[in-house]
Amino acid sequence: MELTAPIYYKDFRCLASACRDNCCRTGWEIDVDDETVSYYQSLPQPLRDRILSGLAENEEGIYTIRPVNGQCPFLRSNGLCGLVLELGEEHIGDICALHPRYREWFPGRMEIGVGLCCEEAARLMLDDPAPAEFETYLTDADADDDDGEEAPLYLPLLGIRDRLFALLQDRSLPLPRRMANALRLAVAVQDVINRGERPDEDIAPSEWEAESIDPQSVLAAAVSVHQEMEVLETDWADNLSEAAAHLNGLDWRGFCDALEERVYEYEHLCIYLVFRYFLKAVYDEDALTKVKQMILMVLTMGLLGARQWQKTGRFSLADQIEVCRQYSKEVEYSDDNMELLAEAFLFEEELRTEKLLGFLERDETSKS
């Protein structure tokens, strides 16, 4: 089958004990696959009971790692995994072995990448000024049994996604205008899907008229949606509250000017989110929400960056990585929060398509 990944994927290496935000300290309840649990149950005493005491079984018979004081009970004081040290890497659960990598399967194809919640993955993604690229090659892995008949949108949306990449990487235009062009294409694609048809790869973007807006109202709505989400870290909630409290005095234009030579970082975020989520529309038929979701996520990360820049007078790559890491950890890696994000476009007046177009196409953002 075909396997597609960002070109930086092959360079990813876990920082282990050198990581500033060890993923074993997230407080997540991590599922452990049946094969791994069976192996633990086969171990001799007292090792068996010691390891199983760190797991919890739910009503459905699924085992999860039971966090203690917000971290994995197997995490050693040196930041390394006790299970790996005692049993070997091959005997940790699938999720632990895979993270922060993610995988998506489509007919005859698998796509893989590394999630933004990992600081090293974020560094690889954001540090290179060159446009993001992907590589596709053949592997011996088993292909999805779906022959495409049950995924009629797969090939059309695969071509549409390539067009989205091209629009978002058109550096002859300011990034907000590129994002608006991507949104217009998504509107046209969704109209065709809603009619029960397959969109052509060369479909013309929508000419939907943008609505005049108060930029502050769109930014306020973006922050408000995120403030309704479940929270892992109190710092995250504090950062959102601070951004909300200072929206009226936010020097958005100044931030855009200060980062004029680093706009590619936000371009890379757009590409990452489109690569990771857009083809999910093959199955849920909601292409428009995937693009609006990308816009809202990048806008919110930009807003948090702008507040930090205005507060401290600086915003380094390390600062950017931390903003993106925390955002991803709080939002991307919570199913409930991602669902809330998608629902926001149904119920939040200021996040309607016309309003987002008005925000992105207004003259004030033309330099960013």
Query: Do the beta carbons of residue 350 and residue 358 sit within 8 Å?
Result: no
pLDDT in tens, 150-195: 789 999 999 999 999 999 999 999 999 999 999 999 999 999 999 9
pLDDT in tens, 276-330: 999 999 999 999 999 999 999 999 999 999 999 999 999 999 999 999 999 999 9
> Rounded to an integer, what distance in angstroms lies between the CA atom of residue 365 and that of residue 176?
7
Q: Tell me 206's DSSP state.
A: P
- How many structural domains comprise the chain? 2
Q: Which helix (H) or strand (E) holds 268?
A: helix 263-277
Domain stop point among 151, 166, 196:
151
Q: What confidence tier does 233 reach under pLDDT thresholds 50, 70, 90?
A: confident
Q: Which amino acid is at 191?
A: D
pLDDT higher than 60, residue 368: no
pLDDT confidence of residue 164: 98
Q: What is the dihedral of CA 322, 328, 334, 339, to 10 degrees?
A: 140
> Rounded to an integer, what distance in angstroms lies between the CA atom of residue 182 and that of residue 145?
32
- The answer on 214 and 237 residing in a single domain is yes
Q: What is the pTM of this model?
A: 0.87
pLDDT confidence of residue 69: 81
Sheet strand arrangement including 31-32: 31-32, 63-65, 55-57
Q: What confidence tier does 92 reach under pLDDT thresholds 50, 70, 90?
A: confident
Query: Do the beta carbons of residue 134 and residue 6 sit within 8 Å?
Result: yes
pLDDT confidence of residue 264: 97
> Rounded to an integer, what distance in angstroms lies between the CA atom of residue 253 and that of residue 261?
14
Domain stop point among 126, 151, 176:
151
pLDDT in tens, 210-227: 998 889 999 999 999 999
pLDDT higher than 70, residue 333: yes
- The answer on 130 and 254 residing in a single domain is no
- The answer on 8 and 101 residing in a single domain is yes
Supply the range of the domain harboring residue 11.
1-151
- The answer on 213 and 162 residing in a single domain is yes
